[in-house]
Chains A and B, each alone.
Chain A
Amino acid sequence: MARLTAAAVLAIIAAAPFLPMGGMRQYALHVLVQIFIWSFIGGAWSLMGRFGLISLGHGAFLGAGAYTTTLLWNFWGLTPWLGVLVAVAGAVVIGLVLGYPCFRFRVVGHYFALVTLAVGEVVRLLVIAERDWTGGSLGVTLKASAGEASLAAIQFADKRVFYYASVVVWLGGLWVWRRVDRSMARSALEAIGEDETAAASVGIHVTRFKLAITVLSAALTAVGGVLYAQYFTYVNPDTLSGIGVSLRIVFAVVLGGMYSLLGPTVGSALTIALSEYLRVLFGLKFIGMAETIYGLVLILCIIFLPAGIYGSLRAAIARRMARRRAAPA
């Protein structure tokens, strides 16, 4: 049953670019690509978040990823295929520099969140300060490659290419999430999330597990940043690092539910759809209105659905199924 549903959903996703959508096709594809990219990034974030490692600075990894490939391409013409390796390495280094001291000296909970918040801001300020390279707060445009489409430069005029690319990356993210979910590391990290001293006392190498999941999350987030940069061909410090984007990632995941495979996807899809809808509805009339409503919806969700929309829905369905199974007996 679940397999069948999954197959059907995948078939729809695969066929989406060819469905009749009138003049809406380009716009719809654009929104969908964003949903897949942000879902992937949200999933990467939730790898840490679900174990109580709340990062409010994932913009650091995102920005590091996006800027690394963009600048390497613009200045040295290095293909993003190699650039992404450098980008991931960069994000991993940031993750280690952030994580090692925090985990070694037991910086946990709110304090950890604050440290990550600062790291995200530092990356944003660095990008702004290094304006000769990075274009400062105006951002930088990815230099166009020759021709309509270039595989080496990962630039394609046809949105469908990015659509499928983002789907593949998103599926890869889900696969990693599943792998972690079914591993021994999951139990270890859950134990650590509950009580670090107790975890250490049963032989869990607390620092190593926390660092490993941080590095994994950072690396995937950087990949998301690279994909974002290649798709938009424009990066700027406010949309890719700093507090704003970091919180957006957190909100989306919390909304959808960080403990379930598809929670981050549902959350990202809802937040993107909601902000698109509000943007179209209010246009430029009430600047800030969209954000306000968006914020309110979030607060309500956090209070009433702590497991997230998708997480709560799944739990409710599971309960009903259990009751139905129990009833005829």
Chain B
Amino acid sequence: MLELRGVTAGYGQFTALWGVSLRVSAGEAVAVVGPNGAGKTTLMRVISGLVSPREGDLTFEGQSLARLPAHEIVAHGIAHVPEGRRIFPMLTVADNLKMGAFLRSARRGYRDSLERVYTLFPALAERQKQRAGSLSGGEQQMLAIGRALMSRPKIILLDEPSMGLAPVMVLRLFDLIRRVREEGYTILVVEQNVRQILKLVDRAYLLEVGRIKMEGRADELSEQDFVRKAYVGL
């Protein structure tokens, strides 16, 4: 469904990704793991059109995405939940979700999407009228994910959903992501909680200083010595 071939990208003179190739098939959950500064966020930003690739191919369902601006990429069915819970803090929970359905294609199914999001995240339903900025960290992350689902995406990109959350909250959140998965969404997720994310996804890529160092099925990867020592901490 989503395919990157030899993507090189960066900021100004600086190159953060060197010829990265990656593939996500429909219905799959795929993780990208790697140390800080590896380029994971940059990778997500390239896919969602916030950073344009310097070289390489980027296709989604056979169509090229390279050089499309962010708002058009959303229209193709790719929803990005950016790093650091970028919700709209002054808007209410309900309004944040409404903004998620900003696109005309999403507005048509608005009620239906809203119901699905509230069923998935009952905590949000209880806090509809509350200002998003006053939610707890975990609730804000749910809102960010819920807002992404409102655009009726085919794939969602999650950038470090567990960032800055307490361990209990991380477990709950991963549980919720599992449920999102079971709803049939295709997911590409970046995580530093390697051990837990490998239990949740089908396949994973290991990114280091801008290059894919390893890839494979999640269960196989977590058995590899290198990954165990460097990331899983066993």
Contact = CB atoms under 8 A, between A and B. Distances in A.
A292 interface: no
B21 to A, nearest CB: 24
B86 A201 contact: yes
Interface in B32-84: 48-50, 69-71, 74-75, 79-82
Contacts of A188: 102
B82 A201 contact: yes
A203 interface: yes
B125 interface: no
Contacts of A200: 49-50, 69-71
A201 B50 CA distance: 9
B69 A195 contact: no
B106 A198 contact: no
A100 to B, nearest CB: 14
A204 interface: yes
Nearest to B88: A194
Contact of A198 (B88, B150, B151): B88
Contacts of A204: 71, 99, 102
Contacts of A202: 74, 99-100, 102-103, 147-148, 150-151
Contacts of B79: 201
B109 interface: no
Given A194-B91, A197-B50, A201-B86, A187 B99 contact: yes
B147 to A, nearest CB: 7
Contacts of A195: 86-89
Interface residues of B, number: 29
Identify whether the interface residues of A are mostly helix, strand, loop, or mixed.
helix
Nearest to B76: A203
B71 A198 contact: no
Interface in A156-200: 184, 187-188, 190-191, 194-195, 197-200
Contacts of A314: none
A66 interface: no
Contacts of A194: 88-91
A206 B102 CA distance: 12
Contacts of A191: 88, 91, 99, 102
Nearest to B48: A201
A203 B71 contact: yes
A198 B102 contact: no
A191 B82 CA distance: 15
B154 interface: no
Contact of A187 (B50, B89, B98, B106): B98
A199 B79 CA distance: 12
A194 B102 CA distance: 15
A201 B80 contact: yes
A203 B69 contact: no
Contacts of B80: 201
Contacts of B69: 200, 205
A190 B91 CA distance: 9
A203 B88 CA distance: 14
Contacts of A206: 71
Interface string B126-170: 000000000000000000000110110000000000000000000
A198 B50 contact: no
B106 A197 contact: no
B104 to A, nearest CB: 9
A45 B79 CA distance: 34
A190 B102 CA distance: 13
A194 B82 CA distance: 15
A206 B150 CA distance: 19
A203 B151 contact: yes
A187 B69 CA distance: 20
Contact of B82 (A187, A197, A203): A197
A205 B99 CA distance: 13
A203 B48 contact: no
22 contacts: A184-B102, A187-B102, A190-B88, A191-B88, A191-B91, A194-B88, A197-B50, A197-B82, A197-B86, A199-B88, A200-B49, A201-B74, A201-B80, A201-B81, A201-B148, A202-B74, A202-B100, A203-B70, A203-B71, A203-B74, A204-B71, A204-B102
Given A190-B91, A198-B87, A201-B74, 4 more contacts: A190-B88, A195-B89, A198-B82, A198-B86
Interface of A: 184, 187-188, 190-191, 194-195, 197-206
Interface of B: 48-50, 69-71, 74-75, 79-82, 86-91, 95, 98-100, 102-103, 106, 147-148, 150-151
- Interface pairs A-B: 3 shortest CB-CB: A203-B74, A198-B86, A200-B70
